[in-house]
Amino acid sequence: MNNYLITIIGPTAIGKTALSIALAQHFNCDIISCDSRQFFKEMKIGTAVPSDEELASATHHFIQNKSIFDNYSVGDFEKEAIEKLDELFLKNNIQIMVGGSGLYVDAVLKGFDDFPDIDEEIRTKINADFEQFGIDYLQQKLKELDAHYFQKLSTENPQTLQNPQRMKRFVEVCLGTGKPYSSFIGQKKNQRNFTPIIIGLEAEREMMYNRINQRVDIMMNEGLLKEAENLFPNKNLNALQTVGYRELFDFFEGKTSLKFAIEQIKMNTRRFAKRQITWFKRSENTVWFDYLVDRMEIINFIENEISNADLRN
């Protein structure tokens, strides 16, 4: 039997959840959530977790299944998601994955490179140095230890150089193995037992920004301030280094006003959406649809893709 993983991608607040539920109901299948912020059960409002009604409309996996105190990596997700898909494909050869976390989407579709385990003492030391010296320290270390990869990021994906989690990982691999991080990339070909059909949702920039601004206002009305206040004592955890919480933590510390913090959430979410689009637009295998397109048009496209693939096989 040929297996197909319908993968829905696109920027935040574009309507991926609604489309995924419609497709899951049409194809009578489950949904694999691929949003790295929605894994954590303590973060509900600020990560736009599907509503109770939406969750009841189709079976979802990997939503609020971890704690912010868990050490959970993209490699862990790849392993668990592939195992879950293997199980689901036994029931239905069509399944759905949806999310805006490009790295996590790629991990499932293409596989995650095989990195060796790193001594916990090295990880602790890097965390301590980062707390003392900041992101500049991590950038300089990567430049020293893997100049090729540093230059590649500077040219192709500069925002990654500002991501503490990613940068700490690059440096710890270099220090823990004595080899450049880039030497471990692309070492193996990961075999998948499915054919991906990748659907992208997009909108004009102004419309996308308006949807983001409206979503932030809705989050605040639903209690994001209180949720962030409850999480504030754990503000240094990696899971909480994300838009929607960092800005409110600054407010709690007296660094900004609440009004300014909310505007910062909107601005930083818009910037996040731009980065998502940049990441996803690199894929040549994605077919893009306007977010308002009739869903039957997308369903017809998917069914044609599956029929053609079945004929080829």
Question: Does 196 count as an annotated binding residue?
Answer: no
Instruction: Identify any residues that bridge with 289 across adjacent strands, giving them in sequence order.
Output: 201
Collect contacts of 187-192 with beta carbons under 8 A, ≥24 apart.
187/113, 187/114, 188/111, 188/113, 188/114, 189/111, 190/110, 190/111, 190/112, 192/82, 192/109, 192/111
Instruction: Flag whether 195 is marked binding.
Output: no
The answer to the question of whether 244 is labelled as a binding residue is no
CB 210 within 8 A of CB 270: no
To the question of whether residue 124 is assigned a binding role by annotation, the answer is no
Say how far apart CA 265 and CA 273 lie, in whole Å: 12
Residue 160 marked as a ligand binder = no
- 164 labeled binding residue: no
Measured over all CA atoms, what is the biggest interatomic distance in the chain, rounded to whole angstroms? 63
10 is in an annotated binding site: yes
Dist. CA 126–CA 132, nearest whole Å: 10
Tell me whether residue 235 is annotated as binding.
no
Which letter, b or e, does each residue of 185-222 get, where b requires 16 or more Cβ atoms within 10 Å of its Cβ? eeeeeeeeebbbbbbbbbbeeeebbebbbebbeebbee
Can you say which residues are annotated as belonging to the binding site for ATP? 10-17
Can you say which residues are annotated as belonging to the binding site? 10-17
Can you say which residues are annotated as belonging to the binding site for substrate? 12-17
